[in-house]
Structures are given as structure tokens and as C-alpha cells.
């Protein structure tokens, strides 16, 4: 893989994490493929696609937590895959996992494996440490 190709893959991944780290979804259309899928989906029955991803995020995690802060602690690229380990904190401002809002800052880590095709993320397999919350 040449460096330009690798850089494009890393830029696609960085655009996705702008949503979580800066609250900025502006790069999603240049980071995610139109048929983007997550495994597991953000909620059962969620159809693939950028709009459905954003709707699921805003109705789910985005409605439960605010003031995201965090960092990507590990980014590893291999062929068409980019692995990211990240650590976040957020304020618990809405019902989450059956727990009413506490107003407290919580911490959690996540591991994501992204498949990148033609410069866009087509699939993400993710695992968050929500037990740590």
C-alpha cells in the first residue's frame, strides 16, 4: 500500500471521530460510504446508511450523553482495515441503559475495526466498555 492510499484511509477514520471528539458531523459524507453499516447496529433493525447512523446516534448515545471528550489512543492500519482504540468521557445527561440521567461525568473505552473501500468506511465493528460507565 502506498502512503497516499494509507493517508486517505486514516483521513476517513479521522472524519468519523470528529463526530465524537468535536461534535462535528461535517466530515461524515466524505468518511462514510452511503451504505455504511455498524456491527452491532446502534439499535435493532437500523438500516445501513449515513442518515440512519446519525439518527441512531442522536436518538441513542447522543441523547444520553453530552460534552464528549476523548482521544484516540491507538490507530493501526493494515490493508483495507483500520483499528482504533479510544478513551472517552462524557456527561450523563439522559436515560442510558435504563439508568436515569445523573449529571455525572463518566469514562469508557472503545475498540473499533473499520473496513475502508474506495477511500470510505463501509463497515465498522465496534465494542464499547459500557460496564466501565
For residues 32 and 48, the answer to whether their CB atoms sit within 8 Å is: no
86-111 burial, b if ≥16 CB within 10 A, otherwise e? bbbebbbeeebeeeeeeeeebebebe
Give the CATH number of the domain where residue 29 resides. Answer: 3.10.450.50
- The residues, ordered by sequence, that sit 6+ positions from 30 with a Cβ below 8 Å of its Cβ are 12, 15, 120
pTM of the model: 0.88
Identify the domain containing residue 86 by its residue range. Answer: 3-132
Report the pLDDT averaged over residues 20-45: 86
Residue 75 DSSP symbol: E
What's the pLDDT tens digit per position in 74-110? Answer: 999 999 999 999 999 999 999 988 899 999 999 999 9
**Domain tally for the chain?**
1
Task: Say what the pLDDT of residue 1 is.
Answer: 58
Amino acid at each position: 500500500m502506498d502512503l497516499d492510499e494509507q493517508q486517505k484511509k486514516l483521513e476517513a477514520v479521522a472524519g468519523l471521530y470528529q463526530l465524537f471528539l468535536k461534535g462535528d458531523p461535517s466530515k461524515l459524507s466524505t468518511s462514510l460510504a452511503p451504505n455504511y453499516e455498524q456491527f452491532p447496529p446502534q439499535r435493532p433493525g437500523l438500516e445501513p446508511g449515513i442518515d440512519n447512523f446519525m439518527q441512531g446516534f442522536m436518538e441513542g448515545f447522543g441523547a444520553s450523553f453530552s460534552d464528549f471528550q476523548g482521544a484516540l489512543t491507538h490507530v493501526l492500519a493494515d490493508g483495507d482495515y483500520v483499528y482504533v482504540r479510544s478513551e472517552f468521557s462524557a456527561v450523563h445527561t439522559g436515560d442510558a441503559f435504563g439508568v436515569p440521567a445523573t449529571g455525572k461525568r463518566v469514562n469508557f473505552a472503545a475498540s473499533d475495526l473499520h473496513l475502508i473501500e474506495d477511500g470510505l468506511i463501509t463497515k465498522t465493528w465496534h465494542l464499547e466498555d459500557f460496564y466501565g460507565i
